[in-house]
Chain A
C-alpha cells in the first residue's frame, strides 16, 4: 500500500452531520442545487427553441406541456433558480474580488440575496400567470 492510501489515525474535522444548518451553508448548498437545475433547464430552453423551429403542431404539443401543472412548476422553478443563482452568483463575484468576507457581511449579503430573489420570483410568477 502506498503512503498516501494508508489509513490515518489523525483526527478528522467535523463534517455535515455535526453542524447545525446555518444561512451561509444553506445558501451555498442551494447555489449548487439551483446550478444543477439550471443546467438541465438550459437543455429544456434549447428544446423550446428547437420546437419553435418545428411545425405548429409540434410546438402546440410542447406548449400544452408548459401550460400543465407540471410544466408550470418546471418553468416557475426555473425562474426561481435563475434569480437565486444570479443574485448569489453576484455575491460570489464580490468574494472573488476580495470583498464581503466578514461574518457580518456574509450574513447581510446572504439575506439580501434571499430577499431579492424571492421578490423577483414572486413578481415574475404574478406577471407570468396573468399573461398566460
Chain B
C-alpha cells in the first residue's frame, strides 16, 4: 500500500495522542497510594487466615475496613489495568492489541464495581 505521508508525518501520527504523561503519572500516583494500602491489606489477609464466614463479614463490614478495602481494590485494579495495558502494547499488535486492552479495562471495571457492591451489601446489610 502506498503511503503519501512523509516519514515525519508518520512519526507524528504515532505520538502520544495528546494525552502526554497522563498514563505514566496515574501509574505513579496509584503506586504511591498503594504502598500503605497493600501493607495494611497483606497484614490483614494473613491475620484472617482460618477466619470463618461470620468473622470475615464482621471485618469487611466495619466502616474503616469498608473504606480501606474499597480504596485497595479500586486503586489496585486501576493500577493493574494501567500496567496490563503496557504489557499488551509491548507484546501484541493490531486488532488483538486493541481487543485485549479494551477487554482488560472492561474486566477491571466489572470486578471493581462487583466488589464495591459486595462490600456495601455486607456493611449496610441486606
Contacts and interface: CB of A to CB of B under 8 A. Distances in A.
On whether the two chains bind one another, the answer is yes
Interface of A: 2-4, 32, 35-36, 38-39, 42-43, 45-47, 49-50, 52-53, 56, 59-60, 63, 75, 79, 82-83, 86, 89-90, 92-93, 96, 124, 127-129, 131-132
Contact of A124 (B35, B42, B87): B42
A96 B2 CA distance: 41
B53 A131 contact: no
B97 to A, nearest CB: 16
Given A52-B60, A52-B122, A90-B35, A46 B114 contact: yes
A50 B76 CA distance: 16
Interface residues of B, number: 42
A116 to B, nearest CB: 12
B34 to A, nearest CB: 8
B7 A42 contact: no
Contacts of A128: 45-46, 49
Contacts of A43: 77, 107, 111
Instruction: Tell me whether chain B's interface is mostly helix, strand or loop, or mixed.
Output: helix
Contacts of A47: 111
15 contacts: A4-B11, A35-B87, A43-B107, A43-B111, A46-B77, A52-B118, A53-B122, A82-B42, A86-B39, A89-B35, A90-B35, A93-B28, A96-B28, A124-B42, A128-B45
Contact of A60 (B32, B53, B115, B119): B53
A50 B73 contact: no
Given A59-B53, A131-B49, A82 B83 contact: no
Given A4-B10, A39-B80, A82-B38, A124 B46 contact: yes
Contacts of A42: 73, 76-77, 80, 111
B115 to A, nearest CB: 4
Given A36-B87, A38-B80, A52-B53, A131 B47 contact: yes
Contact of B118 (A50, A89, A90): A50
